[in-house]
Amino acid sequence: MLRMSLSRLALVAAVSALVGQIGLAQAQDKIRIGYAISKTGPFAGGAGVTTLPNYQLWVKDVNAAGGISVGGKKLQIEIVEYDDRSNSEEAVKAIERLGTQDKVDIILPPWGTGLNLAVGPTLNRLGYPHLAVTAATDRAPEMAKRWPNSFWFLGPSKAGAAALSEVLGKLKSENKIGAKVAMISVADAFGIELATAARAAFKSAGLELALDKTYPIGTQDMQALLKDAMATGADAFVAFSYPPDTIAITDAARILNYNPRVYYTAVGTAFPVFKGKFGASAEGVMGVGGWNVDSPALQAYFKRHTEVIGREPDRWASPVTYVSLQMLQQAIERVGKIDHAAIIKELQTGTFDTIMGKIKLADNIMPVVWWVGQWQKGEFVGLAPTSYEGAKSPLFPKPEWAK
């Protein structure tokens, strides 16, 4: 009974979404950009932090500067927005609708690895460029080959594990930490991929896993897991976690006064809510992400984001999202018309001037992805890959949790 009513309600929602479309002006002096994003459902948290604010900021920035120049004319951006309800079928349907009914000029991607993989075939068939920004998967090179219109901005998770073992391996070679690492991971796509990659990467860096446990998504009490981690006596603690877990784990670690010399939590560590909640206790916590804090362009971006959106960006994929949009704009302007094939070609081969400096994609993959960052004096600085411009050395050992 519930099933039937659910599908009926879905129908109502779909109809009302369509009705909302009628009456949209089809003026020639606009460039219409559409996207489906998770405004509700479990992905809304990630989309609301990383993706949506940057779409809004970029549209505002571009329109304030007159618009996108296409063939000597400045076109204002007009937005067509759908909620994919964190559901891959909905996302695919919405992309289909954007491409075939709304006939928008450009389609922006949804949030998350899963949804980007889900809409990949549709965007490929429709021929739109696909900026898979918030997608971190080891299949990125394979996908880029299969769908030449797709561009992957967070790299493979293998690189994430490699960067983390680079940091840990160096500390071990300096005899600052022992070989033992306590690792926990969330039993969901990104957590599984990272943990799998880390098992191999840690081994080759001479590290051994004293604890290797997974927990189900949505676990609300982390104390039990942390007690196991404490019992191992490992100097380094690594959690491949999602945002709510990241906060719950850190909260529990503080309560238990579990203060390993290296403390790393994954997704969410770079979110403003983390700093907001833990304040001085965040000092020395490592996590996924980071940025070059010395870059004036990025500093300006942070300031603008905070002013326009009303809160700080996350320190991982937020600037990358903005970079992808800058690249898109420049590609359109260089092509001079809405010619998807030509725009895709330009994105594949061009070099773009962005807030992260000059960016040229290599085989459709973003070359600069910060994988390890650390809160240092209230800012989430990039630590690794250590070869990047602006990479800092880690604050070691992690200071005591603030009282």
Q: Would you tell me which residues interact with another protein (CB under 8 A)?
A: 1-2, 5-6, 9, 38-42, 44-45, 47-49, 52, 86, 184, 187, 213-216, 218-221, 223-225, 227-228, 243-244, 247-248, 251-252, 254-257, 268, 271, 273, 276-278, 311
Which CB, 311 or 337, lies closer to another protein? 311
* Burial of residue 402, with CB atoms counted within 10 A of its CB: 0-12 exposed, 13-18 middle, 19 or more buried: exposed
Question: Which lies closer to another protein via its Cβ, residue 126 or residue 189?
Answer: 189
Minimum CB–partner distance for residue 192 and another protein (Å): 11
Structure tokens at 378: 């209230």
Q: Are strands 236-240 and 262-265 parallel, antiparallel or unpaired?
A: parallel
Residue (48 or 141) nearer to another protein, CB: 48
Q: How far is the CB of 47 from another protein (least distance, A)?
A: 6
Task: Pick left, alpha or beta for residue 364 (phi over 0 → left; psi -120 to 50 → alpha; otherwise beta).
Answer: left
Taking the least distance from each CB to another protein, the nearer of 252 and 338 is 252
CA dihedral for 108, 110, 112, 116, sign (positive or negative):
negative
CB of 136 to another protein, least distance (A): 19
Distance, CA of 117 to CA of 143 (rounded, Å): 9
Residue 93: its H or E element:
helix 88-100
Q: In whole angstroms, give the CA distance from residue 16 to residue 379.
A: 44
Q: How far is the CB of 387 from another protein (least distance, A)?
A: 32
State the minimum distance, in angstroms, from the CB of residue 216 to another protein. Answer: 4
User: Nearer Cβ to another protein, position 149 or 250?
Assistant: 250
Residue number with CB closer to another protein (152 or 215):
215
Strands annotated E in 29-179:
30-37, 68-70, 73-83, 106-108, 130-132, 150-152
- The nearer residue to another protein, 211 or 343, going by C-beta atoms, is 211
**C-beta closer to another protein: residue 249 or 325:** 249
**Largest Cα–Cα distance of the chain, in whole Å?**
67
Whether the Cβ atoms of residue 341 and residue 127 lie closer than 8 Å to each other: yes
User: Which residue number, 149 or 241, has a Cβ lying nearer to another protein?
Assistant: 241
Task: Please say whether the dihedral angle defined by the alpha carbons of residues 288, 292, 293 and 298, taken in this order, is positive or negative.
Answer: negative
Contacts of 168 (CB under 8 A, 6+ apart): 177, 181, 202, 205, 207, 236, 238, 262
Q: Around Cβ 77, how many Cβ atoms within 10 Å?
A: 20
- CB-CB contact of 388 with 382 (8 Å): yes
How far is residue 140 CA from its own chain's centroid? 14
